Amino acid sequence: MGANFDIEAVRREFPVTRQMLYFDTAHQSPLSVSVKAALERFYSEGLETAGPKPRWLERVEKVRARVAAFIGAEPSEIAFTKNTSEGLNIAANALPLTAGDNVLLVEGDHPNNAYAFLNLASKGVEVRFVPMGASMGAQSFVPHIDERTRALSLSHVTFHSGQIFDIAGIGQMCAERNIALIVDAMQSIGVVPLDVASMPTSMVAFGCHKGLLVPQGLGVLCVSRALADLKPAYLAVASLAHPPSDLVARADNMELKPGARRFEIGNYNLPDIHALDAALDLIERVGRASINQHVLDLGDRLLAHLDEIGIDIVGPRSRDQRCHIIVLKLTPASWVPYLASEKVRVSPERDGVRVSFGMFNTAEEIDRFAGILKRGKAAIGMGSASLPN
């Protein structure tokens, strides 16, 4: 098994690969050389010219268009946010939900998805949690829907097991019932192909510090053109279609910008937007399909090793239901410190130890990791390392 791109060139972009086995992209991507250079160029401009803001804002619009093309949207459907959580809260508060309406969520999905909607209890909005199953298609939600169901919100890929939800099928079901579909794409963006044009979604939120390779502090909210009349929960000059040139607020000048930009408030995270431009260059050079194929191949190799060693996993095994995340059924308290001592970066997760791949990981690294797991099994002992049945 080998990558169908120049893996060594990619690894030169990520110096962390010379320091450790970095299997933690689902937590945060390591910085690449080209992204760091983009940040340094931005800061040099600020240092030397005190900030060419008009030029920076032109670049914001260039990156907005690139992000839109990356996910199959229109630039008018893209708003820049701070993170996924802000995007989900914007979505929850913009939907015209009233007392007696209900929203469906997946039990055990990311808590920041849930809290955005649980916070609407003061308005009389009911949240219904749908049990998470081994396969979550449209029919998983139908029994929980009634005439007051207004929205369904869920992750594209779950953070704690790497399970992929059938967004296309769920979106079609929601469209037929006039239910808004809100998608948290934090774990999928940049790794799993995402095309909102072929996935009937109302709003998609994601941050950029995982599969999109930039530092924390930048997010994106994609709002379907069909929701052009949604009102933001908060308002600023940046949200207005006709910002007053004298910067004097007037009650008769409240017309909102068309599209998603009505949800933007204040200044942009300009450094990260410059970084995102460079990150998209890197991702597109490698190819999104190639990245997805590569991490799935790495997962296949790891699963074969795990079967040989006798370590089980949490979550799906089949390629059509998983992505770059595999959670090992090992006790984090015992195993995470051991793996850290072996210079392996992973994350503790609620059900085990989460391993997550990036474009820079290799088959040889998987083999080395398997050897470390074998030694750990002998040193720690499966009796204390495995989760109880």
Answer yes or no: do 264 and 183 share one domain.
Answer: yes
Answer yes or no: do 243 and 292 share one domain.
Answer: no
User: Which pLDDT tens digit goes with each residue over 56-81?
Assistant: 999 999 999 999 999 999 999 999 99
* Domain assignment present for 302: yes
- Residue 387: per-residue pLDDT: 38
Query: Residue 297's domain is classified under what CATH number?
Result: 3.90.1150.10
Computed over every residue of the chain, the mean pLDDT equals: 94
When pLDDT is averaged across residues 110-120 and rounded to a whole number, the result is 95
For residue 334, the enclosing domain spans: 7-30+287-385
Q: Examine the fold and report which residue of 283, 308, 340 is the final residue of a domain before the chain moves on.
A: 283
Answer yes or no: do 132 and 170 share one domain.
Answer: yes
DSSP 286: H
When pLDDT is averaged across residues 40-58 and rounded to a whole number, the result is 94
Answer yes or no: do 92 and 158 share one domain.
Answer: yes
Q: Greater confidence, 351 or 221?
A: 221
The Cα angle at residue 92 between residues 91 and 95, in degrees rounded to 5:
80
Answer yes or no: do 81 and 224 share one domain.
Answer: yes
- Residue 179: per-residue pLDDT: 98
Q: Examine the fold and report which residue of 283, 318, 339 is the final residue of a domain before the chain moves on.
A: 283
Query: Residue 132's domain is classified under what CATH number?
Result: 3.40.640.10
Q: What distance in Å separates the CA atoms of residue 303 and residue 124, rounded to the nearest whole number? A: 46
Answer yes or no: do 50 and 193 share one domain.
Answer: yes
Answer yes or no: do 25 and 43 share one domain.
Answer: no
Q: What distance in Å separates the CA atoms of residue 155 and residue 206, rounded to the nearest whole number? A: 10
Reduced to 3 states (helix: H, G, I; strand: E, B; else coil), residue 29 is coil
- Asked if 140 and 165 count as a contact pair (C-beta separation under 8 A), the reply is no
When pLDDT is averaged across residues 302-323 and rounded to a whole number, the result is 95
- Residue 51: per-residue pLDDT: 87
- Asked if 88 and 182 count as a contact pair (C-beta separation under 8 A), the reply is yes
* Domain assignment present for 2: no
Rg (CA), the chain: 22
How many CA within 13 A on the CB side of residue 166?
Answer: 15
User: Distance between the two ends of the chain, CA-based, in angstroms?
Assistant: 34
Band of pLDDT at residue 1, cut at 50, 70 and 90: low
Backbone angles phi, psi at 256, to 5 degrees: -85, 155
Q: What distance in Å separates the CA atoms of residue 163 and residue 315, rounded to the nearest whole number? A: 6
Of residues 387, 40, 91, the one with CA closest to residue 263: 91
User: Which pLDDT tens digit goes with each residue over 267-292?
Assistant: 999 999 999 999 999 999 999 999 99
Q: Tell me the whole-structure pTM to 2 decimals.
A: 0.95
Give whole-number Cα distances, 74 to 179, 222, 270, in Å. Answer: 22, 9, 21
Answer yes or no: do 235 and 344 share one domain.
Answer: no
- Asked if 167 and 158 count as a contact pair (C-beta separation under 8 A), the reply is no
Answer yes or no: do 215 and 296 share one domain.
Answer: no
- Residue 134: per-residue pLDDT: 75
User: Which pLDDT tens digit goes with each residue over 335-377?
Assistant: 999 999 999 999 999 889 999 999 999 999 999 999 999 999 9
pLDDT at residue 136 is higher than 50: yes
* Domain assignment present for 1: no
DSSP annotation string for 137-154: -GGGTGGG--TTEEEEEE
Alpha helices in the chain (DSSP H): 7-13, 33-49, 53-71, 84-94, 111-118, 167-176, 270-286, 288-309, 332-341, 363-380, 382-385
Spell out a b/e string for 310-337, using b for 16 or more CB atoms within 10 Å of the CB, else e: ebebbbbeeeebbbbbbbbbbbbebbbe
- Residue 384: per-residue pLDDT: 42
* Domain assignment present for 12: yes
pLDDT at residue 242 is higher than 70: yes
DSSP annotation string for 102-169: EEEEETTS-HHHHHHHHGGGGGT-EEEEEPP-SS--GGGTGGG--TTEEEEEEESB-TTT-PBP-HHH
- Structural domain tally of the chain? 2
Which residue shows structure tokens 């997962």? 299
Band of pLDDT at residue 7, cut at 50, 70 and 90: very high
* Domain assignment present for 222: yes
Q: What distance in Å separates the CA atoms of residue 146 and residue 157, rounded to the nearest whole number? A: 26
Answer yes or no: do 44 and 161 share one domain.
Answer: yes
Answer yes or no: do 18 and 132 share one domain.
Answer: no
* Domain assignment present for 26: yes
Q: What distance in Å separates the CA atoms of residue 12 and residue 29, rounded to the nearest whole number? A: 15
Q: Examine the fold and report which residue of 265, 283, 301 is the final residue of a domain before the chain moves on.
A: 283
* Domain assignment present for 210: yes
Answer yes or no: do 119 and 47 share one domain.
Answer: yes
User: Which pLDDT tens digit goes with each residue over 171-183?
Assistant: 999 999 999 999 9
* Domain assignment present for 15: yes
Band of pLDDT at residue 389, cut at 50, 70 and 90: very low
Q: What distance in Å separates the CA atoms of residue 41 and residue 273, rounded to the nearest whole number? A: 12
When pLDDT is averaged across residues 373-386 and rounded to a whole number, the result is 74
pLDDT > 90 in the chain, percent: 92
